Structures are given as C-alpha cells and as structure tokens.
Amino acid sequence: MNSVKIIPGCEAIYLNGNKIGCLLLHGFCSSPFEMRLLGEYLHKQNYTVHIPMLPGHGTSPKFLRNYSWYSWYDHAKNELFQLRNICKKVFVIGLSLGGTLALHLSAHYEVNGVAALAPGLFLKNKFSFLSHLIHPIIRYKKNFSGPDLKAAVETKRYDKIPLRSISQLLKLFGHIQNDLPDIYTATLIIYAKKDHVVSNKSALTIYENISSKDKRILELPNSYHILTLDVDKERVFYEVKYFIDRLSN
C-alpha cells in the first residue's frame, strides 16, 4: 500500500495507552477517519487504540477492486495479533464491514469482547446480489443504497463503489453466517432503525444466532448508517466505553 497515495486524513491511527487494547475496524469504501473520534474518546480513558486502514481503502475505488474479502480479514487478523502482543486484554470494535470482520475474528481467535456497530449480513439494496454478474460490464455505481449519515459532517468515503467489491462484501456476509454459532465472546450490537445501507435484519440475525451468553443489542432511533459520526455518536461512544469498562475490571 506504500506505493499508492493515501487520501489525507485516512491514514491508520495508533494511540498508545495501557494494557487494554481496542482494535477499531472501519467500514466498506471508507477509512480510519470514520473511527477517529471513537478512537480518541477511548484513548482518553487511557486505552491503547489501533485503527488500521483495510486494504484498498482510503485511496481510490480503482485500488479497492484488487482485493478480496479475505484480504480485509487477513489484515484485521494481523492487527489483532500485534495488539495481543502488547496488551493483556483486547476488544474489537467494528463499524459496518468492520463489525462483520470483528465478529468473524471472534469466532476464530481469542478476544475479550466485540462491539459490532451497524454490522452487515444483508444489504438494503435488493439488486446487490447481481453484482457478481454485472461487475465485468458495469464496474462502478455512484450510490448503492441511500444516505449514510443524518448529520452534515465530513466522511472521506469513496464517491463511487466498485461492484466487484460489493460482490466480495456479500461473500463475506455469506461466510460469517456459518460462523455465528461459534461466537461465544461477550458481544455488544448497536444498529440504527433508519439505516439505509444495511438491513436491520443483520443485527437481529446476529444477536439471535451467536452463542454468547453475555450479549446485548441496542437500536438507535435517529442515526443512519455511520454510527460513529452521526447524531447519536455520543451514545455509541458511551455504550462502547461502558462495555469495555465492565469487562476489563
């Protein structure tokens, strides 16, 4: 990724703190920028925070087309291992694609808790399943669903979406569904009632099918998809902090 120009403000973020580690994973077609405020909030609690940039993100849609869902997962896994080397406890907090990756990690590797924010299993766009057929002909689409944010704030997300990458996203969604019963770690799920991108069925299906005894689901009435930047972000930050605090003591 060093040979590709990173969009200013989209760089990976590393904030050193105590021996409680927080791995924050951003969403699809986005970057660490959308997790920065949450990361800084957690760092003020003296937690160690790592926010990596997933392959193909934070650069250009053309670059994203080169990567499979496993590339995103493998990068997140390596970041998890690095954080586990320096921290006694590690929590994974992911938004959208990042939330799905966080759940996938917890099904296979030791983590102390997962906070899945607007995690994806099903997209709102009913034609998304056709992406694997049409991406050789139509490479990009401007907007795949609806507005991501209710709040008028900067996002630094791609202005067009590679359909090949949508196909990879759906492959991940299909794969993680088989892993849900293997998730036993403490899990916090937060989703928005008015999400235009991911179906609410995603969060509900995850909650109902994971094996965690310590699990909680919270619906936000006002936000759209990007919970870490939207109108309910302070509530999201507090809930994530409380979740980590409770499991760290």
Assess whether pLDDT exceeds 80 at residue 33.
yes
Is 8 part of any domain?
no
Is 57 part of any domain?
yes
Is 7 part of any domain?
no
Is 190 part of any domain?
yes
Q: What is the number of domains present in the chain?
A: 1
Is 6 part of any domain?
no
Assess whether pLDDT exceeds 60 at residue 133.
no
Give the per-residue pLDDT at 110: 94
Assess whether pLDDT exceeds 70 at residue 144.
no
Give the per-residue pLDDT at 129: 47
Whole-model pTM: value is 0.92
What single letter denotes the amino acid at residue 74? D
pLDDT in tens, 157-204: 777 888 888 889 999 999 999 999 999 999 999 999 999 889 999 999
Report the length, in residues, of the chain.
249
Give the per-residue pLDDT at 249: 81
Assess whether pLDDT exceeds 60 at residue 141.
yes
Assess whether pLDDT exceeds 50 at residue 72.
yes
Annotate 91-108 with DSSP letters as a single string: EEEEETHHHHHHHHHHHH
Assess whether pLDDT exceeds 90 at residue 60.
no
The three state secondary structure string of 165-224 is HHHHHHHHHHHHHHHHHHCCCCEEEEEECCCCCECHHHHHHHHHHCCCCCEEEEEECCCC
Domain assignment of residue 179, given as a range: 13-248
Instruction: Return mean pLDDT, the chain.
Output: 90
Is 5 part of any domain?
no
Q: What does the alpha-carbon distance between residue 85 and residue 117 come to, in Å, rounded to a whole number? A: 25
Is 1 part of any domain?
no
Q: Three-class SS of residue 120? A: coil
Query: Smallest Cα–Cα separation from 48: which of 16, 80, 79, 87?
Result: 16
The angle formed by the CA atoms of residues 132, 96 and 150, to the nearest 5 degrees, is: 110
Is 158 part of any domain?
yes
Check which CATH number belongs to the domain holding 233 and give it: 3.40.50.1820
Query: Smallest Cα–Cα separation from 248: which of 45, 22, 15, 20?
Result: 20
